[in-house]
Amino acid sequence: MFKSDTLSTTKGDIVLTFLGHGTLMLQFGKTVVHVDPVSEYSDYSALPRADLILVTHAHSDHLDPEAIALIRQDSTRIVAAPVCRTKLPEATLLANGDKIQIGEVAVEAVPAYNLIHMRASKQPFHPRGEGNGYIIRFGGMSVYIAGDTENTPEMKALKGIDVAFLPMNLPYTMTPEMVADAARAFQPRILYPYHYGDTDTGKLIDLLKGEKKIEVRVRDLH
Q: DSSP for 147-216?
A: -S----HHHHT--S-SEEEEE--TTTS--HHHHHHHHHHH--SEEEEES-TT--HHHHHHHTTT-TT-EE
Overall pTM surpassing 0.85 (yes/no): yes
pLDDT class of 192 with cuts at 50, 70, 90: very high
Residue percentage of the chain with pLDDT more than 90: 91
Q: Please choose, from the candidates 76, 64, 62, 63, the residue with its C-alpha nearest in 3D space to the C-alpha of residue 31.
A: 76
Contact 153, 180 (CB under 8 A): no
What span, in angstroms and rounded, lies between the C-alpha atoms of 146 and 186?
A: 13
Picking from 70, 59, 69, 164, the residue whose alpha carbon sits closest to that of residue 110 is 164
DSSP-assigned letter for residue 67: H
pLDDT at 217: 98
pLDDT at 40 over 90: yes
Alpha-carbon span 178 to 196, nearest angstrom: 13
Residue 170: band (very low, low, confident or very high) from pLDDT cuts 50, 70, 90: confident
Given this model, what pLDDT does residue 188 score?
98
Measure the CA–CA gap between 45 and 159, rounded to whole angstroms.
37
Q: Hey, what domains does the chain have and what are their CATH numbers?
A: 4-216 (3.60.15.10)
Check pLDDT > 90 for residue 59.
Answer: yes
How many other C-beta atoms can be found within 10 angstroms of the C-beta atom of residue 82?
A: 18
Residue 117, class by beta-carbon neighbours within 10 Å (0-12 exposed, 13-18 middle, 19+ buried)? middle
Whether the per-residue pLDDT at 10 is higher than 90: the answer is: no
* CA-CA-CA-CA torsion sign (54, 112, 104, 93): negative
Q: Are strands 52-55 and 31-35 parallel, antiparallel or unpaired?
A: parallel
pLDDT of residue 166: 98
For residue range 82-121, list pLDDT tens digits in order.
999 999 999 999 999 999 999 989 999 999 999 998 888 8
